[in-house]
Structure 1
Amino acid sequence: MVTFSDIADYRDFLKEFYDRRKVEMPFYSYRMMGDKLGLDSSYLYRVLQKKQHLPAHALPAAKEILALSGREAEYFDLLYSAAVSKDKTKREELMAKALSLRDVERHSLQAAELKLLENWWIPAVRAYLELNGGVVNVKQIAKDICPPITEEQALEAIETLKSVGLVKKLASGKLALTEAHLTVGGPEKAKAVRNFQRQVLSLASDALENVPVNERNISTLTLSVDQSCFEDLGDMLREFRRLVQKRVDGAKNPDRVMQLSMAFYPVARKGGASENTIIVGEGAGDKK
């Protein structure tokens, strides 16, 4: 479901609901949704296209099918009142109240997002759900993560992913990945990201002993560079990340979750260093 930080028009709640139901149930129609709201299909279509507003009598039914309650329902009502108000000052006051509620929700969401970065296995569980078709088998998930995690950790990972909108529950009970983006920023995120990267690099070190050579690819380069070369290599690494993601997006039948860690950092600083290169590598596809 969309979150407060995604919504500035109450009709977006309805549009997201319709689109989601259409994915889950291809035969779902404007008529079926309109029947729930007491509207004919053509009028509902105009509402979702933001060419009409919901009639006031449809608001209780709308909040019911959207499963809105408490602060969410209040937020929906404020957005509706602001949208239909013809008084500019009143409309601005209503939107200000709505935004104050949204800020509370954003704070809650950011706390959940920070939790996402606390443990390396939470993103790994999300990727794993793509492999197994979204089947929520906590015992199997915990066993298949490398290295294995506890069932409690697997369950916590799933709940965290749901709370930040990175997975959603389908009518079948399975989970589907979403294209949600994280919004948290600032020093809190920087600290969480550093902690996450520290865990991931530790996993890479452990893989040297715990993962067979033919199932991993670990190599290192020790380089002497100048500032211009340093900047060019940074650009090359960013482009490589983009190409990796593009290739992964095209994978037809993924059967494993891999962690790619890239670290590029100084080990010495001295003016006039030569541009010699020492290459160390092992594993499938390593360059010697």
Structure 2
Amino acid sequence: MKSVLEYKDYHLFMQDYYDERKRLGAFSWREFCKSAGFTSPNFLKLVCMGQSKLSKVKIDDVAKAMGLSGYEADYFREMVLFCNADKDEAKKAALLEMQRIALEHKVRVVDGEAFQYYESWKYPVLRELAPMMPGASPRDLADACKEHVSAEEVRDVLNFLVKAGFLKKDGEKVYSQTEQTVIGSKEALPIAIRAMHKEMANMAARAVDRYAPNERYFTGVTLSVNQEASERIAKELDACCRRVLAIANEYSDQDQVCRINFQFFPVTDKIKEVRHA
């Protein structure tokens, strides 16, 4: 069975533990539950099926029943908190603590790098800008950015981008992009990307007044949809984004970094019943 440090979902870990014990000899959900202090003989089965949650007060008992102690028990606790959390801040805190524990015990986890890449506009913007300005100093790169960033911040961002594999350093102050666009697990990325969406939306709001109409393009419509139309529109926006990227990639003489936000969201509740006069 894999180490607990290789899991991100405690339901899967507990199910694998049960299956392994069952494979090695007589073992039942009743025995598993009893060893963890539950009176219900199938509660942990319901937990593994996603039909119930493991409460905070029982995490340590379940960890002990599975033979976890020390850093493995700590990791299991954070994994439960991560899976059960409703808010992004709590999920992020638990996931980063899981990363810290795993890294300390020689298991490579890259979710923290994904969080850092998406925590500020500086990372994706400088990843695009630095290869366009070979030989530019951090001060030069900072001055080219519309949003405020210091030369020291630029230096730190570039160091991170190289270390994490987003940029390759080809010479003194000369960078090129790697093919790697983003790293991190499917569990981490949605949380990290939501933070970036919020920051870019704020930048878009400032852009309305910051730039002249000929320097920006804003448009929008308010429309009524049903579920099928909503799904088709979302797919169309994805396809449009891919077409926009293809257009940009046709050129090799880029001279500016821009951002496009596709925003499609509800502004009313769903109407459960349409009433006719």
TM-score, reference length from structure 2: 0.57
The percentage of aligned residue pairs carrying the same residue is: 20
CA contact (8 A) 1:136 1:175 kept: no
Provide the aligned C-alpha RMSD in A.
2.2
Structure 1 length as normaliser, TM-score? 0.55
Gaps in structure 1 of 5+ consecutive residues: 1-99, 274-288
Q: CA deviation at 1:183?
A: 2.9
Specify whether residues 186 and 243 from structure 1 end up closer, same or farther in structure 2 by C-alpha distance, changes over 3 A only: closer
Superimposed CA distance per residue, residues 31-78 of structure 1 (whole angstroms, 9 cap, x where no aligned partner): xxxxxxxxxxxxxxxxxxxxxxxxxxxxxxxxxxxxxxxxxxxxxxxx
- Measured after TM superposition, the shift of residue 143 of structure 1 is 1.1
Other-structure match for 2:118: 117
SS at match of 1:176: strand
Mapped to 1, the partners of 2:143 and 2:260 lie a distance apart of 21
Q: CA distance change for structure 1 residues 143 and 226 in 2, over 3 Å: closer, same or farther?
A: same
Q: Per-residue CA shift, 1:63-113, capped at 9, x if unaligned?
A: xxxxxxxxxxxxxxxxxxxxxxxxxxxxxxxxxxxxx99x94632x43223
What is the alpha-carbon distance in structure 1 between the residues aligned to residue 179 and residue 186 of structure 2? 22
Looking at structure 2, the residues matched to 173 and 157 of structure 1 have their Cα atoms a distance apart, in angstroms, of 13
Identify if the C-alpha distance between structure 1 residues 150 and 105 changes in structure 2 by more than 3 Å, giving closer, same or farther: farther
| SS of aligned partner of 1:170 | strand
Instruction: Report the CA distance between 1:142 and its aligned residue.
Output: 0.8
AA partner of residue 123 (structure 1): P
SS at match of 2:168: strand
Select the structure with the greater relative contact order (CA < 8 A; seq sep ≥ 6). Answer: 1
Secondary structure at the counterpart of residue 223 of structure 1? coil
State the one-letter code of the partner of 1:165.
Answer: G
Q: What count of residue pairs does the alignment treat as equivalent?
A: 171
Per the alignment, residue 129 of structure 2 pairs with 128
Q: For residues 142 and 173 of structure 2, what CA distance do their matches in structure 1 show? A: 19
Question: Given the alignment of the two structures, is residue 179 of structure 1 paired with residue 179 of structure 2, yes or no?
Answer: yes
- Kindly state the Cα deviation for residue 172 of structure 1 after the two structures are TM-superposed: 4.9
Q: 1:57-206, aligned counterparts within 5 Å?
A: 104=106, 106-107=108-109, 109-133=110-134, 135-206=135-206
> Which residue type is aligned with residue 257 of structure 1?
V
Superposition deviation, residue 189 in structure 1: 2.7
What is the distance in 1 between the residues matched to 2:119 and 2:206?
Answer: 19
Deviation at 1:157, TM superposition (A): 1.3
The question of whether the paired residues in 2 share the 8 Å contact of 1:118 and 1:192 is answered with yes
Contact residue 114 and residue 188 of structure 2 kept, 8 A: no
Query: Which SS does the other structure have where 1:175 is aligned?
Result: strand
